[in-house]
Chain A
Amino acid sequence: MNGLDVPAWAALPAAVLLVTGGTLALVGAIGLLRLPDFFARMHPPAMGNTLGAGSVLIASMLVSSGMLGRPVIHEILISVFIVMSAPITAMLLIRAAVARRRKREGEGGQPG
């Protein structure tokens, strides 16, 4: 805002956290593309969704706090939503995959 400067104590950790979050999101997407099975593909995006998103959110908090000179923590809202939503989505998707596979293989197929 109006060319305010970011102090060094906020810029250095924010840069490190941004690089960490970007790398985690990239590794998660590569794993989503390359793993062979749906139940294996469930795992890698969770890495980017939890730790990567957390790193970027903390970096955003640091930069806006350092710029405005007071603590700015409204990014906690986004992290609360992500922390609430990721396990629910994962559980519903796994249950849908299991139910659909069981339906496709018929009642005599392997359960689970």
Chain B
Amino acid sequence: MMDSLLDMAAFYAALCFMVGMMLALVRLFLGPSAQDRVLAFDTMYINGMLTLLMLGIRSHSGVYFDMALLIALFGFVSSIALAKFLLRGEVIEP
């Protein structure tokens, strides 16, 4: 009973994250300026990380946590690099 409730909640969350990633993808293709695309990319990686956490909850497994941690780390680094490039024209300044 409790497992089926948790499964239904996880299915709803997966649906929400999937639709959210698709809307962010539309903004990524449509965005008038480069900042919009970086923001849409930011939203997309956060939603992908939440999808991995949801899969970990649903399958009672611990292996998805490491992938979510890696996505959080590399997504942070890449969006910082993109924003720095938009701000200055260079990522690492001499």
Determine if chain A interacts with chain B.
yes
- Chain A interface residues (CB < 8 Å from chain B): 1, 3-8, 11-12, 14-16, 18-19, 21-23, 25-26, 28-30, 32-33, 38, 41-42, 45, 48-49, 52-53, 56-57, 59-60, 63-64, 67, 74-75, 77-78, 81-82, 84-85, 88-89, 92-93, 95-97, 99-100
Type the 1/0 row for B54-77, where 1 means its CB is closer than 8 Å to any CB of A: 101100111001001100110110
Most chain B Cβ neighbours within 10 Å, of A15, A29, A33, A84: A29
Question: Interface extent on B, as a size class?
Answer: 35 or more
**Residues of the B chain whose Cβ atoms lie less than 8 Å from the Cβ of A75:** 53, 65
Q: In the assembly, what is the distance between CA of A92 and CA of B42, in Å?
A: 13
- Residues of B contacting A: mostly: helix
A25-B50, A33-B27 known; A8-B56 Cβ under 8 A: no
